[in-house]
Amino acid sequence: VQLQASGGGLVQAGGSLRLSCAASGRTFSNYHMGWFRQAPGTEREFVVAISRSGGGTKYADSVKGRFTISRDNTKNTVDLQMNSLKPDDTAIYYCAARFAARVVVLSTIPKEYDYWGQGTQVTVSS
């Protein structure tokens, strides 16, 4: 699966951004999808994941109520709507895919994902 993330940018605290990840190369609906982020000097951090059907989601506590993930299996895309952004949300955001043929649980662990996009920078100014 090839993943291409887009939509990052510079926004003031309290603002919103919408990230999008376009997938190609394999059957998109066979994959759980996740968003992770990494700030300078830190490890890659789980943000949110969505099941292959879109019926299940898991959010990091730090983004619950502010971020919303969605996917469109007809367009092979997964989006992340980010509202009420804070300076602590500043990071490079990566989308990732995990083959889900025998997997039900949504993983928060980066190494359990099979494919990664190139990342998109999100900067939130105070």
> Residue 28: helix, strand or coil by DSSP?
helix
Q: Say how far apart CA 15 and CA 83 lie, in whole Å.
A: 6
> Residue 87: helix, strand or coil by DSSP?
helix
Q: Say how far apart CA 5 and CA 26 lie, in whole Å.
A: 17
Q: 1-35: per-residue pLDDT in tens?
A: 999 999 999 999 999 999 999 999 889 999 999 99
120 — pLDDT class (breaks 50, 70, 90): very high
CA dihedral in degrees (86, 91, 92, 93; nearest 10)? -40
**pLDDT given for residue 103 in this prediction:** 77
**In the beta sheet, which residues pair with residue 103?**
none
Cα–Cα separations (whole angstroms), residue 41 to 80, 88, 111, 122, 123? 24, 13, 18, 16, 15
Six token digits for residue 1: 């699966």
**In the beta sheet, which residues pair with residue 73?**
none
More confident residue, 104 or 118: 118
Six token digits for residue 118: 């190139």
